[in-house]
Chain A
C-alpha cells in the first residue's frame, strides 16, 4: 500500500507544482490546496499505514497506528485552511481593485531605487 501511496503523493505534488507555476491566481491557490493534501498524505504514509487499531485506548487493541503523524496533520489541515482562506480573499480583493488575476500583470514595476 505504501508504494501505491508514494505514487499517489508524487502525482499530487506534480499537479500542485504545475498549478502553482501557472499565471492565474486562482489556480495557484488550488495548487497550494493540492500541495497540502499531498503533504498530509506523505506524513501519514511515512508513519506507516494500518499497523494497528485506531488510536483510541478504549479499543483495547494490542497495537495502535502511530498517533503522532495524525496530530501533526490535524494541525496542518487547520493551518492550510487558514492560508487558503487568506489567499482567496487576497486574490478576490486584488481582482476587485486591479481588475486582473494574472500574476504577470500583478507584478511590481521594474523601477529600482
Chain B
C-alpha cells in the first residue's frame, strides 16, 4: 500500500464516517466535512503534473489475488492524471455547490454524500488502475453509485425508472466489457494494461482480437451514452443537479471515453476500431444535438447536449487512430484529432459543469426547469445569466471561449479525413465533415435556446412556483469558477497544452508522441481556412434556424414516440418480465412432486450421461465375493418386500413391509461382517416401526379414511426405473474399478496403538471421527427439538382458542 493507494481509497474511508458526522453535527451541513477531501486530493494530484509533463509515470502495486494476476495496481500517467484532476476538481466544486443546493433540514444528506464519495473513489480507481480486473471492479462501482444517486429521490417514480434504466444499460455493457477483458488477459497472459500494450503486435494478430475489441467497445459505448445506448442519460437527469453536473456530464460518462483512449495503443491499428468509434461517435453527435433542440426541460437539453458532445469526443478519438498509419510523416496532421479530443474533454467539463449548475440555480430559485414556463429571468438573475451566456457560447463554439478553440480543432480533425486514403475512407470519408458541420449547427441552435428562452423574452411569473431571485452567493461560487476557467482556457489555451494535453496525448499515442511532439493551440489560422468558414456558416445558419424555429419544429413530430428507442427499451423490459414470470409460474408450481421430478430427472440424466460420456462405466467380474444361499434368500426377500410396498393397499401393510425390508437389511449386515451395523439397524428399525404405528395406526381418522392403492403413473415409473438403473450401474462400476487405494488400512493399524480400542468401527466413530459423531448427535437433538416444538404448537394454539 502506497500513499497513492490511500488516496484512491480515502473517499471510501470517509464514506464510512459520513453517517456518523451527519448524526453528530446536525447543525453543520455534512457537505462541509466532505468538501475537505476532494480539495486535498486535487492539490495532491496537482503535484503529479511535474512528473507527467516531463514524460515520467508513477506505478504503485498492491497484490489482491496474485494467483490470478489480479491486483490494485495504480498507474499515474498523463491520461490518468487528467481524469483524476477532473474528478477531484469538479468534485470539489460540486460538493461546494451541493451544500447550498440540498437543504440540511429536509434531505437525506448522509446517504447522498456516502453515494457521492463512493463514486469519487470508484472513479479514481477506474482512471488510475493498470489492472484490467481492478478497473472493471471500480467501473461497476461507478455504475452502482450512479444508480443510487439517480434514485436518490426514490419516492419519485421517474427517479426509480431512470435509476433502473441506467443500471441495466451500463451493467450490460460492463459485463460484456469484462468478457473482453478476460479475452485480452487470455491473449496476453496478463491483465496489466502496460504489459498488454507492449505486446500489442501479437494481440493484433490473434483471432480473439476483434471479439475482445467489440465487447470492450460495448462497455465503453453504454457508459458514455453513445447511440443507441444513449437513452439512459436523459432519464438519469432525475438525479439532483449536482449529481448530473458531476457524474452525468463531467466524469462518469467520460469513463467510456477514458477506456477508448486508454486501450487505443492496443486496438488502434485496426480499421474496425477507427471506423466503429468514429462512426458511432458521429451518429451520436448528430442525434444528440438534433434531439436536444426539441427538449423543453433545461436539464433535458443539457442531457442531449452531453450525449452529443460525448459523441464528438468519441469520434475524434476514433479518427486519431489514423495517425498510427502515417508514422513517417513529419507533421502528422491526424494527431490533431486526438489533441482536439483531449482539449474538448477538458473544455466540456468546464462549460457543461457551469451550465448544469446554472440550470440547477434556475430550478432551485423558480421551481421549474420547463423553458415554456421560463423566460425573462434576466432582470432577476443577472449573475446566473452571465454564467449561462459564457457556458452556452462556449458550447456553441463562439470566440473567445474555450469551446471555440476545440470546435475549430474538431473541424480540423474532420476536414483532415478528406485526405485519408486508408480503410475506404476516401469513399465515405466525405460524410464526416458534413455530419460534423450539421451537428454543430444544431449545437449552436440548442445553446441559443438554452440561453435566450430562459433569460430573455417576456417573463411569465404567474407560471412559476416561486418568485425568482438571484441565488445565494455560495451557490454561485462553483459555476463562477467554472465560467472563469472557460474564459481563461479560451484566452490562454496553451496553459494546458504542455501541462495536461501533451502528457495525455502521449499516453494515447505512445509511439508517435515520442519524437518531439508539441501542442500549440492558436486562435487565428488566417482568413482562408475551411475551419473559419465552417464556423461562420454554423453561426449564420444557426441564427436563421433559431429565428424560424416555430416554422420547422414540426419535423420532430414525424417520428412517432411509438417507434423510439425508449419504446424499444420498455418493450424489451416488459417482455423479459412477462417471459420470466410465465416461466417461473410454469416451473415453480409449488407442488413438491414437480420439484422432486426435476431433481430425480436431473440426477438420472447427469449421472447417466457422465457415466457413459466420460467412459466411467466398467464391468469386471474378478475379485467378486462368493454368493451364499442365505444371501440369495435375503436378496429375494428384499426385492419382493420393497416391490410389494408399491402394491400395498393399506398404509399399515406398507409400514410393516418397510419394517420387513429394514430387518432384512440388518440381516445383510450380519452376513457382510458388520455386527455393529446389524445391532443398530435392529434397534432403530424396531423404534421406527413402533413410531410409524403410533402415528398412523392409533389415529382413528386415518384408518377409517378410504385408503386406495397407489395409482400407476407412467412418468413416475420411467423416472424411478431410470434412477434405479443408474444407481445399479454406478454400484457395478464402482466395484469394478478402484481409482484409489482404500485409506482403511490406516484405521486398522492405528485403532489399537493410537486409540486403544479393538473394535475398529467403534474407534473410528468415537475417536478418529469423533467430531462427526458429535454433529450426528446434534442433528438428532435438532430433530428432537423440532418434534417437540411441533407437538407444543398444538397445545399453545388450543390455549389461544380457549
Using a CB–CB cutoff of 8 Å, the interface residues on chain A facing chain B are 1-24, 26-27, 30, 33-34, 37-38, 40-42, 44-58, 64-68, 70-71, 73-75, 77-79, 81-86, 88-93, 95-97, 101, 103-104, 107-110
Residues of B contacting A12 in the complex (Cβ-Cβ under 8 angstroms) = 638, 642, 661, 724
**B592:A103 contact, CB within 8 angstroms:** yes
**A92:B760 contact, CB within 8 angstroms:** no
**B642:A15 contact, CB within 8 angstroms:** yes
**B790:A89 contact, CB within 8 angstroms:** yes
**A49:B597 contact, CB within 8 angstroms:** no
Q: Report which of A24, A38, A49, A65 forms a contact with B727, defined as CB distance below 8 A.
A: A38
Beyond contacts A22-B716, A54-B675: 6 other A-B pairs, Cβ-Cβ < 8 A, are A6-B731, A33-B658, A52-B673, A55-B759, A85-B787, A101-B702
Q: Which residue of A lies closest to B797 (CB)?
A: A97
Q: How far is the CB of A49 from the nearest CB of chain B, in Å?
A: 4
**A66:B758 contact, CB within 8 angstroms:** no
For window 631-651 of B, CB contacts with A under 8 Å fall at: 631-632, 635, 638-639, 642-643, 645-646, 651
Q: Report which of B673, B681, B723, B742 forms a contact with A14, defined as CB distance below 8 A.
A: B723
For window 755-773 of B, CB contacts with A under 8 Å fall at: 758-761, 764-765, 769, 772-773
Q: How far is the CB of A16 from the nearest CB of chain B, in Å?
A: 8
**B786:A86 contact, CB within 8 angstroms:** yes
Whether, in the assembled complex, B791 has its beta carbon less than 8 Å from a beta carbon of chain A, the answer is yes
Most buried by A among B593, B627, B651, B772: B593
List, sorted by A's number, 21 A–B pairs whose CB atoms are closer than 8 Å: A1-B631, A13-B720, A14-B721, A15-B643, A17-B719, A19-B645, A27-B651, A34-B661, A44-B672, A46-B734, A57-B751, A57-B760, A68-B742, A78-B684, A81-B687, A82-B780, A83-B783, A86-B787, A92-B695, A95-B701, A108-B590
Residues of A contacting B654 in the complex (Cβ-Cβ under 8 angstroms) = 26-27, 30
**A92:B699 contact, CB within 8 angstroms:** yes
Would A11 and B764 be within 8 Å (CB), given that A1-B627, A17-B720, A22-B710 are in contact?
no
In this complex, the interface size class of chain B, counting residues with CB under 8 Å from chain A, is: 35 or more
Give Cα distance in the complex from A108 to B692, angstroms.
26
Give Cα distance in the complex from A94 to B628, angstroms.
46
Give Cα distance in the complex from A81 to B681, angstroms.
10
Using a CB–CB cutoff of 8 Å, the interface residues on chain B facing chain A are 585, 589-593, 596-597, 600, 621, 623-628, 631-632, 635, 638-639, 642-643, 645-646, 651, 654-655, 658, 661-662, 665, 668-669, 671-677, 680-681, 684, 687-688, 691-692, 695-696, 699, 701-702, 710, 713, 716-717, 719-721, 723-725, 727-732, 734-735, 742-744, 747-748, 751-752, 758-761, 764-765, 769, 772-773, 776, 779-780, 782-784, 786-787, 790-791, 793-794
Q: Which residue of B lies closest to A57 (CB)?
A: B758
Give Cα distance in the complex from A6 to B651, angstroms.
28
**B591:A56 contact, CB within 8 angstroms:** no
**B677:A77 contact, CB within 8 angstroms:** yes
Do most interface residues of chain A lie in helix, strand or loop, or is the interface mixed?
helix
**B783:A86 contact, CB within 8 angstroms:** yes
**B727:A107 contact, CB within 8 angstroms:** no
**A6:B635 contact, CB within 8 angstroms:** no
**B760:A64 contact, CB within 8 angstroms:** yes
Residues of A contacting B661 in the complex (Cβ-Cβ under 8 angstroms) = 12, 34, 37
**A55:B760 contact, CB within 8 angstroms:** yes
**B638:A8 contact, CB within 8 angstroms:** yes
**B761:A70 contact, CB within 8 angstroms:** yes
Give Cα distance in the complex from A26 to B777, angstroms.
26
Residues of A contacting B725 in the complex (Cβ-Cβ under 8 angstroms) = 10, 14
**A21:B642 contact, CB within 8 angstroms:** no
Instruction: Please provide the 7 A-B residue pairs with the shortest distance between their CB atoms, ordered closest to farther.
Output: A14-B724, A10-B728, A17-B720, A6-B731, A82-B783, A18-B720, A71-B764
Do most interface residues of chain B lie in helix, strand or loop, or is the interface mixed?
helix
Give Cα distance in the complex from A85 to B731, angstroms.
29
**B764:A68 contact, CB within 8 angstroms:** yes
Would A88 and B692 be within 8 Å (CB), given that A40-B665, A64-B760 are in contact?
yes
Q: Which residue of B lies closest to A40 (CB)?
A: B665
Give Cα distance in the complex from A89 to B748, angstroms.
40
**A15:B716 contact, CB within 8 angstroms:** no
Give Cα distance in the complex from A19 to B655, angstroms.
13
Residues of A contacting B676 in the complex (Cβ-Cβ under 8 angstroms) = 70, 74
Q: Report which of B591, B645, B651, B772 forms a contact with A107, defined as CB distance below 8 A.
A: B591
Residues of A contacting B635 in the complex (Cβ-Cβ under 8 angstroms) = 4-5, 7-8
Q: Report which of A17, A27, A108 forms a contact with B724, defined as CB distance below 8 A.
A: A17
**A89:B695 contact, CB within 8 angstroms:** yes
Give Cα distance in the complex from A33 to B657, angstroms.
11
Residues of A contacting B742 in the complex (Cβ-Cβ under 8 angstroms) = 47, 66, 68
Q: How far is the CB of B764 from the nearest CB of chain A, in Å?
A: 4
Give Cα distance in the complex from A104 to B783, angstroms.
25
Would A11 and B688 be within 8 Å (CB), given that A46-B734, A67-B760, A71-B764 are in contact?
no
**A51:B720 contact, CB within 8 angstroms:** no
Would A93 and B794 be within 8 Å (CB), given that A54-B675, A78-B776 are in contact?
yes
**A82:B720 contact, CB within 8 angstroms:** no
**A13:B624 contact, CB within 8 angstroms:** no
Residues of B contacting A44 in the complex (Cβ-Cβ under 8 angstroms) = 668-669, 672, 674, 677
Residues of A contacting B687 in the complex (Cβ-Cβ under 8 angstroms) = 81
**B735:A18 contact, CB within 8 angstroms:** no
**A23:B662 contact, CB within 8 angstroms:** no
Residues of A contacting B759 in the complex (Cβ-Cβ under 8 angstroms) = 55-57
**A79:B779 contact, CB within 8 angstroms:** yes
Residues of A contacting B671 in the complex (Cβ-Cβ under 8 angstroms) = 50
Residues of A contacting B782 in the complex (Cβ-Cβ under 8 angstroms) = 82
Give Cα distance in the complex from A20 to B593, angstroms.
8
Residues of B contacting A96 in the complex (Cβ-Cβ under 8 angstroms) = 794
**B596:A20 contact, CB within 8 angstroms:** yes
Q: How far is the CB of A60 from the nearest CB of chain B, in Å?
A: 10
Residues of A contacting B743 in the complex (Cβ-Cβ under 8 angstroms) = 68
Residues of A contacting B691 in the complex (Cβ-Cβ under 8 angstroms) = 84-85, 88
**A45:B731 contact, CB within 8 angstroms:** yes
Q: Which residue of B lies closest to A2 (CB)?
A: B735
**A54:B677 contact, CB within 8 angstroms:** no
Residues of B contacting A104 in the complex (Cβ-Cβ under 8 angstroms) = 591, 593
Give Cα distance in the complex from A41 to B731, angstroms.
10
Would A75 and B672 be within 8 Å (CB), given that A11-B642, A21-B596, A86-B783 are in contact?
no
Residues of B contacting A5 in the complex (Cβ-Cβ under 8 angstroms) = 635, 731
Q: Which residue of A lies closest to B665 (CB)?
A: A37
**B681:A30 contact, CB within 8 angstroms:** no
Give Cα distance in the complex from A110 to B655, angstroms.
34
Give Cα distance in the complex from A22 to B273, angstroms.
61
Give Cα distance in the complex from A13 to B471, angstroms.
80
Would A21 and B731 be within 8 Å (CB), given that A53-B673, A70-B761 are in contact?
no
Give Cα distance in the complex from A6 to B723, angstroms.
13
Would A67 and B624 be within 8 Å (CB), given that A6-B728, A81-B684 are in contact?
no
